Amino acid sequence: MMQKSTKASRGFTLIELVVVIIILAILAVVATSKFFDLRTDAIVSTMNGMETAMQSAATLTYSKAAIAGVERLATTTINIDGNNINLAYGYPDGTAAGIAMLMNIPEGDWQQRKSTLSITAWVYWHGVIKEDAGVAACYLRYRQVTSATARPVIDVQTSGC
């Protein structure tokens, strides 16, 4: 006959605690990697949305410049919602008073630069860009037009986000 133990169980054994800690660590690693994937997806989606908004804003500005008859001028300004927007051949230029003002983007989120082609460019990125094309391949770039027959070049690079 078996005898019942008179000792009552008081808690978890050391092995049970170690197993629970290992399971929690694995869950934390999985959750963290999922968080980083969502962060990258959010950055890429934001930049793609900004590209589309920027294209629309440039096209609508050109339409307003054409109605005003100033779309062939190398430099001019046009008033949009009480703001004077700098234009280059009817499109917003790449300065703070151009596309950045039109898009209402905070000053720390963009930078005016000269590219290797000496075209003023407006750059939006997440991270640090050391060269015109970008060391960190995660940026949205607006290059203003240089002639009356051109359109602004807007390109997005998300491979390094």
The tens digit of pLDDT for each residue in 95-111 reads 888 888 888 877 776 76
pTM metric for this prediction:
0.69
- Which of the pair, 117 or 157, is modelled with greater confidence? 157
Interstrand relation of 91-92 and 111-114 (parallel, antiparallel or unpaired): unpaired
DSSP string over 18-60:
HHHHHHHHHHHHHHHHHHHHHHHHHHHHHHHHHHHHHHHHHHH
